[in-house]
Structure 1
């Protein structure tokens, strides 16, 4: 199936755990790189899937979640998203995240995309779902989350991607994917 160019050119000669918490761990590897020279490589291993949901109602409105992102030191508008344990069906995690952050439940779920978010230094796998047939219930945010929820027309959210008001990778990918599906007439 694969050709010679797809084989792993890296050799690991040693490894050392650098950091570990319930969500990630960081390992430093001693390697022989593809050119045959010794070096080091750091890898962040994620202990959860990165789950993203684009809820889309019958009038083509969607929901954004606003929150201050510690790592960026800035406020971010993004789709509902969060971590899903690797040993749990990612769709179940998506349903939980959507309800927790927005109070929404969906009758129809479609997997839209799988992505590796930063594959030069992490193994984090993102799975994006489209949620349709929405019903409103009570939101149940986690205590680490101070969330603001905005219901907006999808075209406005698409414009926010085009003007860099939305920069979260999961949100950008999901919104652009849905825009293409709308253009192709595959979402009505």
Structure 2
């Protein structure tokens, strides 16, 4: 069977939603189940996790080429992970300001400069609508971290090149962190 070419692909929605019901809701997510007709004409269900906040990641980089990672136990994966500072941006908060806030909360670092690195990423386009913006923080000053009550964090300073290697060799597995660090690696190669 021939694959469609980009010129022949129909870009309108081939799905029909017959009904939708909310299965669960909390302050961070809403889970819904839709009764659908799929692109081949068959009936079925489609479950969607809707996120109420936008995901935000931020990579602090100092003038010497160092960065900071945050270590914490990730409940859903049942393991300890190292990652860039991350958090949720509620509706009404500007993503760049959220990046500044998360950086300060998790590491105690203030950034004079916040630059977009990767914007409007789809973190899982099969079952969620979660999107993420990632920033680079520069011109840093240091203070005390102010983590949320649900966070027991460790902060590690290391060369950016070492953090990139951790993303490459699997020591960093968080997708937002891996994406951010690999994007910075391409910029370093110039």
Interval containing the TM-score (normalised by the shorter chain): over 0.9
TM-score w.r.t. the length of structure 1 is 0.95
In structure 2, the residue matched to 1:162 is 168
In structure 2, the residue matched to 1:57 is 62
1:99-178 equivalences under 5 Å are 99-114=104-119, 115-178=121-184
Q: Which of 6, 10, 13 is the aligned partner of 2:15?
A: 10
In structure 1, the residue matched to 2:84 is 79
Q: 1:124, 1:112 → 2: CA distance?
A: 18
State the number of aligned residues: 183
Q: 1:82, 1:178 → 2: CA distance?
A: 20
Structure 1 portions without partners, runs of 5+: none
In structure 2, the residue matched to 1:30 is 35
Note the C-alpha offset of 1:109.
Answer: 1.0
Note the C-alpha offset of 1:29.
Answer: 0.2
Note the C-alpha offset of 1:182.
Answer: 1.1
Question: Which stretch of structure 1 is more off in the superposition, 145-154 or 109-118?
Answer: 109-118
For residue 105 of structure 1, give the secondary structure of its aligned residue in structure 2: strand
For residue 144 of structure 1, give the secondary structure of its aligned residue in structure 2: coil
Where in structure 1 do 4 or more consecutive aligned residues deviate above 4 Å? none
In structure 2, the residue matched to 1:46 is 51
